């Protein structure tokens, strides 16, 4: 199970391609955390930037104080301690920042085309979905199942490798997007563009990233690269691929 805490982004000390060094709030120690589990989040009404730190039950958080004075070498780690996820959350909970600022819902256009894409693909795939490009990274859109309390709605989340943070839902009946507090402001625009022209936006995504927005796999041949998605996904989702040519 995943948990999350909201911290002041100024606690970030250093970052690499894969990890961030974050100061422990309320103390002078720090810890390394996987970068994919740290997400910048909007904080309307607050005079600070925030990060959401996602922590899984099976994670071990190791903290330490950096050496100072004669121990200033960066490899020196003083007072090293080890916490389970529950222990670490308990330690910092009084220093976490509340980001529970409600966001208004917005209209993002006619969603019937996107719902049709996903429903058509559901006859071939167990969990059809597509990726939309936003400023803070990709977001994944999928169709809520029949057993969901929001059956038929579109769910918007971060990719599963990021701990799958919930970013909101879209009512296909009226195109109303209800963003979560973690959603960046540009997601609504990205959803609206995709709803207007799914084939073009899917193609642009593939040409920009080199991956298909539906299956996330690399585009491996010249025709798929030129179109922006592969022939198989085009067939599954009912999109054009190599018009005028045999598929």
pLDDT (tens digit per residue) in 115-134:
999 999 999 999 999 999 88
Residue 48 has pLDDT above 60, yes or no: yes
Among the residue ranges 12-26, 96-110, 197-211, 217-231, the one predicted with the least confidence is: 96-110
The predicted pLDDT at position 186 comes to: 85
Residue 148 has pLDDT above 90, yes or no: no
Residue 88: exposed, middle, or buried by beta-carbon count in 10 A (0-12, 13-18, 19+)?
buried
**Element containing residue 127 per DSSP (H, E):** none
Select the more confidently predicted residue: 229 or 96: 229
φ/ψ of 113, rounded to 5, equals: -65, -40
Give me the mean pLDDT over the 98-126 stretch. 83
14: confidence class by pLDDT, cuts 50, 70, 90: very high
DSSP string, 83-98: EEHHHHHHHHGGGPPP
Half-sphere exposure of 104 (CA within 13 A, CB side): 2
CA distance 197 to 186: 17
145: confidence class by pLDDT, cuts 50, 70, 90: confident
CA distance 199 to 224: 13
Residue 84 has pLDDT above 80, yes or no: yes
185-241 pLDDT tens trace: 789 899 999 989 999 999 999 999 999 999 999 998 888 999 999 999 999 999 987
Residue 244 has pLDDT above 60, yes or no: no
Contact criterion met (CB below 8 Å) for 22 and 33: yes
Residue 100 has pLDDT above 70, yes or no: no
Task: Please name which of 63, 110, 111, 105 lies closest in space to residue 87, comparing C-alpha atoms.
Answer: 63
Among the residue ranges 20-29, 58-67, 178-187, 197-206, the one predicted with the least confidence is: 178-187
The predicted pLDDT at position 128 comes to: 94
The predicted pLDDT at position 71 comes to: 47
The predicted pLDDT at position 76 comes to: 75
Residue 102 has pLDDT above 90, yes or no: no
CA distance 104 to 125: 33
247: confidence class by pLDDT, cuts 50, 70, 90: very low
68: confidence class by pLDDT, cuts 50, 70, 90: low
Q: Please report the sign of the dihedral spanned by the C-alpha atoms of residue 210, residue 216, residue 220, residue 226.
A: negative
Q: Beta partners for 140? A: 131, 157
């Amino acid at each position: 199970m995943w948990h999350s805490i909201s911290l002041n982004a100024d606690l970030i000390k250093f970052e690499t391609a894969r990890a961030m060094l974050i100061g422990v709030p309320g103390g002078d120690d720090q810890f390394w955390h996987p970068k994919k589990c740290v997400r910048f989040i909007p904080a309307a009404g607050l005079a600070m930037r925030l990060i959401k730190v996602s922590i899984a039950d099976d994670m071990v958080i190791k903290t330490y104080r950096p050496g100072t004075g004669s121990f200033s070498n960066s490899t020196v780690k003083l007072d090293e301690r080890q916490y389970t996820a529950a222990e670490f959350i308990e330690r910092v909970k009084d220093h976490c920042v509340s980001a529970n600022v409600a966001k208004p819902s917005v209209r993002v256009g006619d969603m019937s085309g996107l719902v049709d894409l996903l429903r058509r693909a559901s006859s071939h795939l167990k969990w059809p979905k597509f990726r939309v490009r936003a400023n803070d990274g990709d977001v994944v859109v999928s169709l809520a199942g029949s057993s969901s309390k929001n059956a038929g709605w579109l769910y918007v989340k971060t990719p599963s490798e990021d701990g799958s943070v919930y970013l909101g839902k879209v009512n296909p009946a009226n195109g109303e997007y209800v963003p979560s507090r973690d959603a960046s402001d540009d997601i609504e625009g990205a959803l609206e563009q995709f709803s207007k022209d799914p084939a073009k936006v899917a193609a642009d995504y593939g040409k920009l990233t080199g991956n298909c927005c539906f299956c996330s796999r690399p585009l491996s041949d010249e025709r798929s690269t030129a179109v922006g998605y592969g022939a198989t996904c085009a067939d599954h989702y009912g999109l054009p691929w190599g018009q005028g040519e045999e598929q």
